[in-house]
Amino acid sequence: MHVQPDRAIISDLNRDLVDLYKGIRNYPHKVWETFERFPEGREAYYRIRDMEYRNKPLYYRAARILYLNRTCFKGLWRHSPNGNFNVGYGGEERRWVVAHENIVELSRIFRKASILQADFEIILNQCQDGDFIFLDPPYKPGEKELLEAHYTHGRFSFEDQVRLSKKLKEISSHYSIRWLMTNSSNHDICELYKDFNIARIPKGTSNVVGVYTSNSKEVIVSNY
Ligand SMILES: C[S@@+](CC[C@H](N)C(=O)[O-])C[C@H]1O[C@@H](n2cnc3c(N)ncnc32)[C@H](O)[C@@H]1O
């Protein structure tokens, strides 16, 4: 968002998130009008969360996921095993942090991007000399915690973290590219990237806008 390159690829495996980005890019005003019209309150939230939405138009699906993300508990993103968004209601306080002009500005930036739904490996296989890659994989703790099954509901396993680190090593040695990634500061994750630059992020964001926590438990890893 900050660099605003003239050509870019944005990719994620999550179809709802890709719909959100594409919807904002193609229909910023319709997304905003639909988002704005969703009613307030708990009862409306669960009705919109649990509705059949897959056959709705792109702008509606985008507005719905934006609404759910802004009004669910702490902005969490969690699905049940059958793939349905299952986070409870969190209130309206975070909803109006988003304004119409933000959506229009995002649309302008996204118009220069191809927005794809794909596994990271498919995208990284397409990199070319001179590319810059920003990666924001799911923040998982290390292997031990995963084995203790604290965080197994997600689809990004420690094997995926290993797969990602191997791919980044491979492309770093074959291409003249720069990549930068945010990840968990867990020891097992840092161990995967010990040949690269690792910087700890001293402050983390909380669920209160503008309030920071003292330990983010996050790192920034880069090959430059
Ligand atoms: C920390 S979130 C980043 C979200 C995104 N950067 C944003 O701000 O909207 C991690 C993302 O990784 C995606 N993801 C999980 N497994 C993936 C995979 N194998 N390939 C690509 N993306 C994946 C998830 O769907 C999730 O949206």
Residue with CA closest to ligand 1 atom 26: 138
Residue 127 confidence (pLDDT):
96
Domain co-membership, 104 together with 130: no
Q: Which residues pair with 184 in a beta bridge?
A: 218
Structural domain includes residue 3: no
Q: What pTM was computed for the model?
A: 0.88
**C-alpha of residue 155 to centroid of ligand 1, in Å:** 10
Structural domain includes residue 212: yes
Q: What is the mean pLDDT of residues 158-168?
A: 94
Residues with CB under 6 A from ligand 1: 12-14, 17, 119-120, 136-138, 155-156, 160
CATH of the domain at 141: 3.40.50.150
Per-residue model confidence as pLDDT tens digits over 71-112: 999 888 888 777 788 999 999 999 999 999 999 999 999 999
Domain co-membership, 145 together with 215: yes
Domain count, the chain: 2
Structural domain includes residue 9: no
Domain co-membership, 133 together with 90: no
Q: What is the mean pLDDT of residues 13-34?
A: 96
Per-residue model confidence as pLDDT tens digits over 45-70: 999 999 999 999 999 999 999 999 99
Tell me the residue range of the domain where 133 lies. 120-222
* Residue at which a domain ends, from 57, 81, 113: 113
Contact 154, 137 (CB under 8 A): no
Q: CA-CA distance, 128 to 131, in Å (whole number)? A: 6
Residues 6 or more apart whose Cβ sits within 8 Å of residue 223: 168, 172, 177, 178, 179, 196, 197
Residue 141 confidence (pLDDT):
61
Q: CA dist 92 to 67, 72, 143, 198, Å?
A: 10, 9, 37, 37
